[in-house]
Structure 1
Amino acid sequence: MTDSSAETTTDSADIQTELDRDIGLVGAVALGVGTMIAAGIFVLSGLAVSNVGAAAIVSFLAAALVASFTAFAYAEFAAIYPESGGGYMYVANVFDTDLTYIVGWSMILGYPASAAFYLASFSDWFYRFIYPALSIPQAIPYWIAGLVVLALLVGVNLKGTEETGLFQIVVTGLKVALIILFLYGGLQGFDASVVTSSMTENLNDLRQLGLTTALVFITFFGFEAIATNAEEIEKPSENIPRAIFISMGFVTVIYALVVVVIVLAVNNGEFLEFLAQQAGLSGSEAAKNFVAQNGEISMGRAAQYYLGDFGFYVIIVGALFSMLSAANATILAGSRVKLAMARRNHLPEQFEDLHPSLNTPYKSVLLTGGLITFYMLVFTVLLGTPPGAEEGATMGVNNFLSSLGLGLHVPHVFHLGLHAVTHFADFMLLGGLIFVNLALIQSRRKRPNIDRGFTVPFVPWVPIIAVVANLVLLVNVEPKAFVVGLLAQVIGVGFWFAWKSTDPEETQFERETPTVVTEREPSDGREYQLAVPIANPEHVEQMMQTAIDIAEDRDGELLVLSAALVPEQTPISESYRSVDDEREVLRKAMSYAEDSDVPVNGIVRIGHRASDAILHTVEQHDCDAVLIGWRGRGSHRREVVLGSTVDRVVKESPCDVLVEKIGSQSADTDSVLVPTAGGPHAELASKAARAVAHAEDATVEVAHVVSPLASESERESAREIVAETAALIDDVSVTQSLLEGENVADTIVERTDDHDLTVIGATRESELQQLVFGALPETVGQRADSTIIMTKRHLDITSRLAQWLP
C-alpha cells in the first residue's frame, strides 16, 4: 500500500466559526427588558388604551400570560441547546425534517417586522416631537430618521456582540429610570374610580380585547431575543431561564402601571384641555377624538402634562432611545436565526460566514437590515400615511404616483400602516411559537432522560395550553396582516424550492457533513466500491476482513469512513477538534488492507448524526454497497429495530446494504451457513457468502427450513430453491440441506451454532409487513451467538406505493 496523504478540505477560516460567550445575566436581562420596554410601552400602551381603555391592562396581562407559557418551553430548550437560533433551532433539533425551514422562515421575517415597528414608531415620535423642537424643516420626510438610525444599528451589530451587549445594558438602564420618573408623576393623582369605570365600560367588548391582546403580544417577545442569543450568553442553562422570567415579571408590572397612568390622563378634563392647547384643537371633545386616532403618542402627551416641558422632553428622548434599543436587540436576534438556518442548510451558506476580523455574521446582519428597510418603506411609507394624518388620508404610494403625473391610484383597501406591520410581526412569530411548544412535547418523548437543566412542569399540559393560546391570538390578528402573513409563507415555500433546485446535491452534502480528511490510494479504475463505516474500534479487524473478502471477489475497492460527531446543540465547527482522533481510527482500519490487492480510500466527515455522514458519503461517492456493523441488540423503542443509525442506513441507502454483527467468539471462518428462501436479497447473501468462503477456504451450507408435516411437493420446491442458491456459490465446497422445524427462526438460530458465520438475506415482505430486514433475519441476528451478516439488495424501486404494497 502506498503512503497516504491527509487532505483538509476546509480552511482555517471556516474552522473558526464560533461566537464568544460575553453576555452575562445582566446583559441577558437587558436584552429581554430592552426589547419589551420599547416602542411597545411608549406606543402600544397608548394605542391599547384608545382601543379598550383600562381593559388594556387585561390585554397586556393576557398577552404576558400567553407569552409565559411559551417562555417555559424556551427556558427548557435554551438550557439543552445553548446555541444561537432560538425557536427555530429548538424545533430543528427535535424534528429531523426540512419542514422546520418554515419555522425559521417565519422567524427571519417576524424579527425584522418587529424591528420595523420599533423604527417606524421612532420615526413617528421623532417627526411629531423632535422636528418642532429642533426646527427641522417639515419637507424632510418623516421616515428619514428611522432609516438613519437603522444604518447605525446595523453598524453596531456588525461591530460585535460585546459592544452590543454593553450598549444594551446602558440604554435599558436609562429608559427604566425614565419610566419610573413618568410613573412617579402620573400616579400622584391616582383615582381608582376612574380606572374601574373605564375597565367596566370595555370588558364586554371581547373582539376589541382579542385584537388588542394580539396587537400588544409583540411587546413580550423579548424572551425570544434572550434565547436566540444563547450561544453568546455565559452559563446558558442558569442565566437564560433566570433572565427570561426576571425580565417578563418586571415588564408586566411596568406595563400595567403605565396603562393606569394613561387611563387617568385621558379621562382627566384638565389633561384634555391641556392637549387641546398643545395640539391646536377646538376643545376637550376634539382632544378625545385626537387621542382615539393618535393613541401612539398618548404617553408622550401624558408625560408633558404630568412632568412639564422638561420632563416631557426627557421622556421623549428616553422613548426614542428605548425604541432604538429594542430594534437593536431584534436585529441581533434576527441575524442569529439566519446564522442558525445557514448552519442547517436552510439558507444559502453565505449567511453562515463570519467576518474575518470582527467575527460577526455580517451577511446575516445585512440581510436583516435590508428586510427592515423593506418593511418600513412598504408598510408605513408607501402603504401607510404620514404621522398625524386624518383617517382615510392619501397613502404615500398615491402621493408618489401623483407627483410623477401618473393617472394611477392604489385603492385604500391596501392601506397598512403601523398597526399592520405590528400584527404581521405577531402573525409570523406566533406561528413559530406554536411549533416550539409542539417540539417540547416531542422532545420529552424522544429524549426523556436528557439532562435539561431547567424542566417545564406538567408536560404535555403546559405546552398544549400554550399552543391553544397562541392559536387564539393568531386568529385575532388584523385580517390584512393575516392575509399578508399567509402570502409571505407561500413566498417562503417558493424560495425554498427555487433555491434547492439550483443547489447541487453534492454541495448540500458537504455543507451538512463536511469531508475534513481524505486518505487517498491510487486506484486503477475499478468499477465496484464498498463503503465501510467504522464505529467500534474493537470490531475493526473483523469488519475490514469481511470487506476485503467481498471487494477482492468483485475486483473492487474500499471506501472506509469515520465520522467526527458532536451533539445537536453544538455547531459543526466544534467537531474539528476531534478530527485527529478519527484520523487515527481511519488509518488503523486502512492498515488491515496493506497485504491485500484491494485499493482503500478513507475519509473523515463531521456532523451531528452518523446516519447523515454515512448516507451522504454513499450518495456522493456513488458506492455500490455499504457494510455497516451492528452491536447485536434490539431497541426498546418500537419504531427502532437495529438502532436508529443502522435502521436509517438500511432503509435509505441507494445501494446494496450488508449489516454485520460480530459473534461472541473470535475465530477463523471455516464454515458458512446461508439460509435461503430465494429472491434478490438471498442472491446478494449467496454472493457475500461465496466471497468470504473463497477467501477463507471455508465450506458453505445452503439450507431451507420446511415443516415436519410438509408434503413432498413442498419439499421438492424447497430443494429447487436451495439448488438455485447453491449454483451461485462456485469454486467452494457447498452442501445443500432441508432443515425441519416448526419455527423457522428457531431452527435457523439452532443451526448457526454449527457454523462460524451465517449470511441471511432480507425477507421479501413489503414495508407493511417488515421494519428493516424483516422479522426472520432480525430475530436470527439478535439471538445467534456466531457472526451474522444480513443483506439487502437495492431494488431501485422509485414508487413508494410499490414499496408499501405486498
Structure 2
Amino acid sequence: MTGGDEELAKDLGLFSALAIGIGTMIGAGIFVLPGVAAQEAGPIVVLSFIIGGMIAMINAFSVSELGTAMPKAGGAYYYINRALGPLFGSVSGMGDWMGLAFASAFYCIGFGGYLTTLLDGVVIPIPGLGSIALLPTIVLGPLVLADIQIGALIAGVVFVGINYIGAKETGGIQTAIVTLLLGILAVFALVGFFSFDWGTVTIDGGIAPLGYGEMLPGTALVFVSYLGYAKIATIGEELKNPGQNLPIAIIGSVAIVMVVYSILVGLMVGIIPYDQIDIDTPMSDVASVIFEGNLGVIGVTSITLAALLATASSANASILASARINFAMGRDKIVTDWLNEIHPRFATPYRSIAVTGAMILLFIVVLGGDLEVLSKAASVLHLVVYALINVALIVFREADVPEYDPDFTVPFYPITPILGVVFSLGLIAFMNQIEIALGLAFVLGAIAWYGIYARHETDREGVLSDYILSRSEEMPDAAVSAATAAKPSGRSEYTVVVPVSNPRTEAHLLSLASVVAKANDGVVQAVHIVEVPDQTPLVEGSKHIQRIDDESRKLMNQVRESTETVDAPVNIRTVVSHRSFEEVFDVARRENADTVVMGWGPDRPWTAGRAERPLEELTHDLPCDFLVLNDRGLETDRVLVPTAGGPDSDLSAEMARYMRDQLGSEITLLHVVDEGEEAEGEAFLTDWAADHDLENATIRVDASDDVEDAIATAARDHSLIVLGATERGLLSRLLRGSLAYSVVNEVDCSVLLAERPTKRSLWNRLFGSRND
C-alpha cells in the first residue's frame, strides 16, 4: 500500500443513508411533542409540523450542495469554519455541541416518559415497609425529580456509558431500527385511519380554536423533530456515489419524515381532542383508543417499545455526533486537544463524552420538567447554525473558490439560501424569552471563548475574510475592520523560511529546509531578498519588483528543479529591502516562521557564534529556530552532533533525527569530559540520546577536555557537524571568542549552527558565562 491520505470504504448505499437521516429524526419529535404542541397550537399543529418540514427542506438543499462539494469533511461546523472563519466556526461548533446536548436531554425525557408507562404499576417490595415504585418521585430540597426525570437520568447514564466504552453503531443496525419503526408506525396509521373523526378536529366549526397566530409558535416548538438530516453529510466519504446519493438522502429523508409526521399528527388530533392528548406519551395514549381488547395491550406495548427504541437511537446518535464535533474543533485548535484525549482502553474521546454527558444530565435535572424549554433551546441553537450554513454557501459561491465544485447545486440561487437564513432566524422570534436567552448566552459564550482562547491558537482563516481583505480598497471600511479584528492570530502550518541572496549559489539551503518541512508536514517559503541602495526609495524599487520577481522565480525554479529535495512544497517570492540581513528577521516574523535556514557569510554576524547582530541581541529574542549552514558541500551521510545539553542541543538533536529518518544519515553523538570522567560522560550521553530518540546513534566520549580539538578530530570522519549556538554573553564572547567560530575555521566539512529562541535577561545577554 502506498502512502497518502487514508480513505473510508464507500460501502453505504442510498437506503442506508436514508435510514441514518430518518432514524435520527423519528424520535421524541413524534413520540413526545404532538401532545405539547397540540396544547400550544390546537388542531392546526399538523400545519406547524409541515411548516417546520418546509424550513428544514430549504436548509437541506444548502446542506446537500455543501456536502457534495466537500464530501470528505462533511458537517455543518466544517462548512461554516471554512467559509466564514474560526469566529463563526466557534459559534457553530459550540452551538451544535450544546444544541445536541439539549436535544439529547429532550430525547432522554421522551425515553423516560415511555419507560414510566411501560413500568407503570411495577413496584419493589421492601420487607416490613411495604413497597416502592420502580421509578419513584424524588425530592431534593426545592428540587423535585418526577418519575419521568428519574427514567431520563437512567437513560442518559446508559447512553453516555455506551458511548464512553465505545459501543459501535452500524449502518445495518440503523437500517433495521428504521425499518421496524416505519413498520409499526404504518400499522398505527392504518388502524388509526378507521378511528379518525373529522368532528374531533373541528371545534365550533373551525380548525383553529386557539387562532392561526399560534401556528408559528407551534412550528418553533416542533422544529427539533427535524434536526437529524444534516448528519447524513458527515458520512459523505463513506457513501457510494455521493454526488447523486447524498442530496437524495438528505432531501428525501426530510420529505419522508415530513409526510410521516403530517399523517400521524393529523390522525392524533382526529382521534382524541387536541386538549386531551397526553403530554408525556401521546402515541401510547392514542394507541389505547384505536386498539381494542387484547389487541389494545399489544398495540400500546408495541408503540411504547417503538418509542423507547426511537428515542434511544436519537439520543445515542446525538451524543455520538457531539464527540465528532469536538474532534473537528480540536483539530482546528478551537478547543483544547485535552478534551479529545483518547481513552487507553476503550479508544474513545472519553473526556469529551463525559463533559457532554454531564451537561445532558444537568439539563435533565434542571429543565427536565419542561419539555418545551428543552426542545426550543435545542432548536434555537441549531437554527443559528442552519442560518450560518446558508451564509457559508453564499460565500463559497460569491468568492468563486476554485476547489468548490459541488455535484449538486441549490435551485433558484441565491433566493433559496437567502430564504434559509431569513426563515431560520425568523423562527427564533417565535420562541419564548427563556429559550432565546439560553441560545444567546451560548452564542455570546462561544464568541468570548474565541476571543480569549481560540483566536490565539487556531491558524485557519475563512474564505470570507480572505475575500474581504484581498479587496480591502473596494470594501466598506466597517467590513475590513471587522475582518481584521476577527482574524486569528494563531500559528499557520509549519513554515520553514529560506532567505536567499543568490539563488545560483545557495541551492543546498533548499535541500536542508525541505528536510525540516517534510518532517513537520510543513512548507518551505523561499524568499529572494534583493537589496537596493539607501538612495533608492523602496517605493521606487517596488516599481521594478515585477522584473526582479520574474528573474528571481526563474533562478529559484532552476534551483528547485536541480536540487535533490524530499517531497515538501516550496513557495517562492521576492522582497526588496535596504538591509538584506535585517529583512531576514522581519520576514521570519511576517511569515510566522517556525524555522529559518540560511547561509553563513562574511558580512553576517556568525563569527560571534549567534544569529543576531550585537545590537539586536541586546534588544530582542529570536523569532523562531535558526539554522545557519557554513556550506562546504552538503553531505549528510555521516553527521556529528557535539552536545553538552541545553536548548540549542535539543534543536541539534531534532535536526539529526530528521536527517536520520529521511536521508538515512548515520549519527554520532560527541561529549567532551575531563580525564577520568569517561563513565559519567558515557552515562550522560546515553541518557541524552534516549531522551532525544537517538538511541541508535553512535556514542563517542572524548576525555581530552579540549572541546575544539575533540570536535576537529571527530570531524575528520564525518561529512557534517550540527552544533548548538553559544550561550555566552556578548561581552564574554568579545573577550574570549566563540566555539562556533573556532570550529568552523578548524574543520573541513560543512557546519550547521543551530540556535533556539530563549528568554534571557539583559545581564545574561551582556555577561553570561555559560560554556558553549
Retained in 2: the 8 A contact 1:25–1:243?
Answer: yes
Instruction: For residue 115 of structure 2, give the secondary structure of its aligned residue in structure 1.
Output: helix
1:331-480 aligned within 5 A: 331-354=319-342, 360-380=348-368, 384=369, 417-447=370-400, 450-480=404-434
User: Is 1:87 aligned to residue 76 of structure 2?
Assistant: yes
Match of 1:246 among 238, 248, 252: 252
Instruction: Output the CA distance in 1 between the equivalents of 2:61 and 2:527.
Output: 44
Are the structure 2 counterparts of residues 496 and 52 from structure 1 closer, same or farther at C-alpha, using a change threshold of 3 Å?
A: same
Measure the CA separation in 2 of the matches of 1:444 and 1:433.
17
Query: How far has the Cα of 1:160 moved from its partner?
Result: 5.3
Q: Which amino acid aligns with 2:43?
A: A
Question: Which of residues 141, 144, 150 is equivalent to 2:150?
Answer: 144
Secondary structure of residue in 1 paired with 2:408: coil
Q: Would you say the 8 A contact 2:334–2:458 is kept in 1? A: no
CA contact (8 A) 1:532 1:547 kept: no
Equivalent residue of 2:527, what SS?
strand
SS for the counterpart of 2:194 is helix
Q: Aligned partners of 2:209, 2:414: CA distance in 1, in Å?
A: 31
**1:556-612 deviation line (CA, Å, top 9, x unaligned):** xx975xxxxxxxxxxxxxxxxxxxxxxxxx45968xxxxxxxxxx6665437xx6xx
Q: Distance in 2 between matches of 1:322 and 1:378?
A: 24
Task: Report if the CA contact (8 A) 1:116-1:421 is conserved.
Answer: yes
Change over 3 Å in CA distance of 1:432–1:70 after alignment to 2: same
1:118-197 matches, within 5 Å, as 118-132=107-121, 136-139=133-136, 141=138, 142=147, 143-158=149-164, 163-192=169-198, 194-195=200-201
Unmatched 5+ stretches in structure 1: 1-14, 268-287, 385-416, 516-529, 534-542, 552-557, 561-585, 591-600, 615-625, 631-649, 651-657, 670-679, 697-806
Counterpart of 2:412 in 1: which secondary structure? coil
Tell me the residue number matched to 2:686: none
Task: Report what 2:271 is aligned to.
Answer: 265
Given candidates 531, 551, 557, the residue that maps to 2:497 is 531
> For 1:127-170, what per-residue CA distance to the aligned partner results, in whole angstroms no more than 9, with x for missing partners?
24423257744536523332332333334435658534333222
Could you say what secondary structure the match of 1:545 adopts?
coil
Counterpart mapping for 1:628-639 below 5 A:
none
Q: Quick check: 1:302 aligned with 2:290?
A: no
In structure 2, the CA distance between the partners of 1:333 and 1:666, relative to structure 1 (3 Å rule), is closer
Q: Is structure 2 residue 59 aligned with structure 1 residue 66?
A: no
What is the distance in 2 between the residues matched to 1:460 and 1:140?
A: 53
Query: Are the counterparts in 2 of residues 46 and 262 from structure 1 also a CA contact under 8 Å?
Result: no
1:28-67 deviation per Cα after TM superposition (whole angstroms, max 9, x unaligned): 2222111211110011122222322331121111101101
Shift of 1:495: 3.7
2:99 aligned residue? 110
Q: Give the Cα–Cα distance (whole angstroms) in 2 for the partners of residues 253 and 423 of structure 1.
A: 22
Partners of 2:52 and 2:254 in 1: CA distance: 11
1:667 and 1:208 map into 2 onto residues whose CA distance is 70
Per-residue deviation, residues 483-525 of structure 1 (Å, max 9, x unmatched): 12212223333444454599699xx99996368xxxxxxxxxx
Give the superposition deviation at 1:173.
1.9
Structure 1 residues 371, 489: closer, same or farther in 2, change over 3 A? same
Question: Whole-Å Cα distance in 1 between the matches of residues 290 and 305 of structure 2?
Answer: 16
TM-score (norm 2): 0.58
Q: Which amino acid aligns with 1:606?
A: D
- Tell me how far apart the structure 2 counterparts of residues 668 and 19 of structure 1 sit (CA, whole Å): 37
The Cα shift of 1:299 comes to: 2.4
What's the % identity of the aligned pairs?
A: 27
Q: For residue 313 of structure 2, what is the aligned residue in structure 1?
A: 325
**Secondary structure, counterpart of 2:121 in structure 1:** helix
Instruction: Report matched runs for 1:502-651 at 5 Å.
Output: 513=493, 531-532=497-498, 545-546=502-503, 586-587=511-512, 604-606=519-521, 627=527
Structure 1 residue 24 displacement after superposition: 4.1
SS at match of 2:497: strand
Q: Does 1:25 align with 2:9?
A: no
CA displacement, residues 158-193 of structure 1 (integer Å, 9 cap, x when unaligned): 565853433322222222111112111110133445
Q: Measure how far apart 1:460 and its partner are.
A: 1.2
| Equivalent residue, structure 1, for 2:578 | 683
Alpha-carbon distance, 1:463 to partner: 0.1
What residue identity is the alignment partner of 1:427? V
User: Which residue, 71, 74, 78 being the options, matches 2:67?
Assistant: 78
User: Is residue 86–residue 224 contact of structure 1 (8 Å, CA) maintained in 2?
Assistant: yes
Q: Distance in 2 between matches of 1:177 and 1:667?
A: 68
Structure 1 letter corresponding to 2:247: P
1:443 and 1:665, CA in 2 relative to 1: closer, same or farther beyond 3 A? closer
| CA displacement, residues 757-806 of structure 1 (integer Å, 9 cap, x when unaligned) | xxxxxxxxxxxxxxxxxxxxxxxxxxxxxxxxxxxxxxxxxxxxxxxxxx
Q: Deviations over 1:682-703 (max 9, x none)?
A: 52479999xx9x999xxxxxxx
Higher mean C-alpha displacement, 189-198 vs 44-53: 189-198
1:49-93 deviation per Cα after TM superposition (whole angstroms, max 9, x unaligned): 232233112111110110111111111111122245611111111
**CA 1:668–1:341: 2 relative to 1, 3 Å:** closer
Residues 43 and 201 of structure 2 are in contact (CA less than 8 Å); yes or no, is this contact kept in structure 1? Answer: yes
**Aligned residues of 1:85 and 1:340 also touching (Cα < 8 A):** no
Q: 2:59, 2:386 within 8 Å by CA — same for their partners in 1? A: yes
Aligned to 1:209: 215
CA distance in 2, matches of 1:173, 1:130: 26
Q: Structure 1 residue 476: deviation in Å?
A: 0.9
Q: Aligned partners of 1:80 and 1:668: how far apart in 2?
A: 33
Q: Structure 1's 504 and 209: CA in aligned 2 closer, same or farther, altered over 3 A?
A: closer
Summarize the Cα distance change of 1:434–1:500 in structure 2 as closer, same or farther, 3 Å threshold: closer
CA contact (8 A) 2:13 2:240 kept: yes
SS of the residue 1:189 aligns to: coil
The residue correspondences of 1:665-680 to structure 2 (distance < 5 A) are: none
SS for the counterpart of 1:627 is strand
Tell me which amino acid in the other structure corresponds to 2:299. G
Q: Offset at 1:352?
A: 4.3
Distance 1:21 1:116, change over 3 A: farther
Report the TM-score when normalising by structure 1: 0.56
- Residue of structure 2 in register with 1:796 after alignment: none
Which SS does the other structure have where 2:406 is aligned? coil
**Given the alignment, which residue of 423, 446, 455 partners 1:492?**
446
Say which SS state the counterpart of residue 132 (structure 1) adopts: coil
Paired positions, count: 505
Q: What 5-or-longer segments of structure 2 have no aligned partner?
A: 125-132, 139-146, 460-487, 531-541, 559-574, 585-597, 603-772
**Partner amino acid, structure 2, of 1:472:** G
Cα contact 2:25–2:226 (8 A) shared by 1: yes
- 1:202 counterpart SS class: coil
